[in-house]
């Protein structure tokens, strides 16, 4: 599609007025908050994008640089990668469609089309467990907004992968875990085991040690999964963590005893 003024894309709007657009966005945001689908900075990016989608409700062709500058001026600085990550997640849950345009044979500015509200909880509740290797196909394609009305009436099956993991989980841990368990729930549950084990051994204020033991225990779990049957990955992982934290504790006690002699 050729680039053009925003008027060129006005027909993609799904809302008769700004009030209806804002109502739909509020419903989307409620689901996003309840299911923790976006981080705080990604929500800032989403809200800022919506402010550039009012002339023709729900449609924007704002440049990323303009949007980032607007956030900076309001004291809510976000990065380009945060904006792009927000878009991937928003596309995955059916909130936004991205239309690629061309100008003089080259890629032009994207057009962002907000879609009518469709309960995210419907699709989430249908997923008891996401397959490890399943990908979010919608992230790699541009959906034709003219077909979105029919598609949005159907329940979606969304694979919530590592990009939906909470910011509380260190990126190093996510990067290693995602190759085996590409499911945000599994990754967060594994990290919770790390936090619990650290707290029980009074290491909750030593993030470097917590991460080191978490990563080494995760590698041991991965090896165990490859060479033998592990009936309960969480139990195996937690048991490994407990042993490693205990070893660290006794190691420090030994060093302390040696220093007093």
Q: What is the DSSP string of the chain?
A: -B---GGGGGGG---SSHHHHHHHHHHHHHHHHHHT-S-HHHHHHHHHHHHTSTTBTTEE---HHHHHHHHHHTT----HHHHHHHHHHHHHTTSEEEE--EETTEE---EEEE-----HHHHHHT-SS--TT---GGGGS---GGGHHHHTTSPP-----GGGS-TTS-HHHHHHHTTT---HHHHHHHHHHHHHHHHHTT-TT-HHHHHHHHHHHHHHHHHHHHHS--S-HHHHHHHHHHHHHHHHHHHHHHHHHHHH-
| pLDDT, position 259 | 66
Q: Which region among 13-27, 113-127, 142-156, 237-251 has the lowest average model confidence (pLDDT)?
A: 142-156
Taking residues 201-215, what's their average pLDDT? Answer: 92
Q: Is the pLDDT of residue 209 over 90?
A: yes
Of 218, 209, 210, the closest CA to residue 238 belongs to 218
Mean per-residue pLDDT over the chain, rounded: 80
- In tens, the pLDDT along 38-73 reads 998 899 999 999 999 999 999 999 888 888 888 887
Reference 177, options 157, 185, 101; nearest CA is: 185
Query: Is the pTM value of this prediction over 0.75?
Result: no
Taking the C-alpha atoms of residue 139 and residue 103, their distance in angstroms, rounded to an integer, is 23
Higher pLDDT, 180 or 145: 180
pLDDT digit string, tens, across residues 69-105: 888 877 777 888 889 999 999 988 889 999 888 777 6
What was the pLDDT predicted at 3? Answer: 52
Each domain of the chain, given as residue ranges in start order, spans 6-162, 171-260
pLDDT at residue 253, rounded to an integer: 83
Please say whether the structural domain 6-162 has been given the CATH code 1.10.1060.10: no
pLDDT for res 65: 85
When comparing pLDDT for 48 and 121, which is higher? Answer: 48
pLDDT (mean) for 167-181: 89
Across residues 136-144, what is the average pLDDT? 37
């Amino acid at each position: 599609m050729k680039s053009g003024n925003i008027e060129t894309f006005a027909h993609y709007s799904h809302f008769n007025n700004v009030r209806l657009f804002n109502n739909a966005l509020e419903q989307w945001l409620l689901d996003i908050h309840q299911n923790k689908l976006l981080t705080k900075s990604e929500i800032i990016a989403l809200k800022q994008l919506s402010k550039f989608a009012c002339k023709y409700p729900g449609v924007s062709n704002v440049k990323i640089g303009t949007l980032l500058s607007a956030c900076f001026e309001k004291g809510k600085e976000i990065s380009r990668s945060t904006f792009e990550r927000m878009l991937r997640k928003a596309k995955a849950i059916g909130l936004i469609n991205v239309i690629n345009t061309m100008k003089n044979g080259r890629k032009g500015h994207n057009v962002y089309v907000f879609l009518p509200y469709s309960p995210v909880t419907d699709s989430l509740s249908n997923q008891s467990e996401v397959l490890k290797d399943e990908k979010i196909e919608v992230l790699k394609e541009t959906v034709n907004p003219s077909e979105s009305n029919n598609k949005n009436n159907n329940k979606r099956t969304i694979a919530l992968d590592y990009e939906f993991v909470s910011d509380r989980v260190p990126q190093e841990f996510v990067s290693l875990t995602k190759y085996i368990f590409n499911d945000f729930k599994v990754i967060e549950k594994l990290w919770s085991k790390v936090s619990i084990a650290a707290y029980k051994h009074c290491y909750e204020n030593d993030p470097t040690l917590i991460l080191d033991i978490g990563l080494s225990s995760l590698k041991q779990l991965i090896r165990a999964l490859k060479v033998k049957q592990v009936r309960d990955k969480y139990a195996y992982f937690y048991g490994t963590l407990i042993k490693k934290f205990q070893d660290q504790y006794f190691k420090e006690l030994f060093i302390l005893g040696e220093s007093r002699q």
